[in-house]
């Protein structure tokens, strides 16, 4: 069974609230999940209050092979639970300059 740590939307229309859940990749976004490990409320004004994580349980599931989605990985990186890979290519400018010189 392949697991994901992902967001499940809750809340009413135009008032989003998300649960951070452990779910099978085949289950629907707001469908069946194994465990709730946090929450994200994007409507709150302060960044520190927006994301709540259960660090111990997230570490457990990461150790058991659960893979976070891109958005959840941002939250885990900010909390120091996982490292997000760099998306930039530091050699890109050198390659462009080399191509331009030829």
Phi-psi region of 13 (alpha: psi -120 to 50; beta: other; left: phi over 0): beta
Distance CA 68, CA 76 (A): 9
30 SS3 class: coil
33-59, pLDDT tens digit by residue? 999 999 999 999 887 789 999 999 999
Predicted pLDDT at 10: 93
Distance CA 95, CA 81 (A): 34
CATH superfamily of 3-101: Ribosomal protein S16 (3.30.1320.10)
pTM as predicted: 0.80
Proportion of the chain above pLDDT 90, given as a percent: 66
pLDDT for 93 beyond 80:
no
CA nearest to 62, candidates 4, 8, 1? 4
């Amino acid at each position: 069974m392949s697991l994901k740590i992902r967001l499940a939307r809750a809340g009413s229309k135009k008032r989003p609230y998300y649960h951070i859940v452990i779910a099978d990749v085949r289950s629907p976004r707001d469908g069946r999940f194994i465990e709730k490990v946090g929450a994200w409320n994007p409507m709150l004004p302060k960044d520190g209050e927006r994301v709540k994580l259960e660090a111990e349980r997230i570490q457990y599931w990461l150790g058991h092979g659960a893979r976070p989605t891109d958005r959840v990985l941002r939250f885990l990186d900010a909390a120091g639970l996982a490292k997000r890979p760099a998306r930039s290519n530091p050699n890109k400018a050198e390659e462009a300059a080399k191509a331009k010189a030829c």
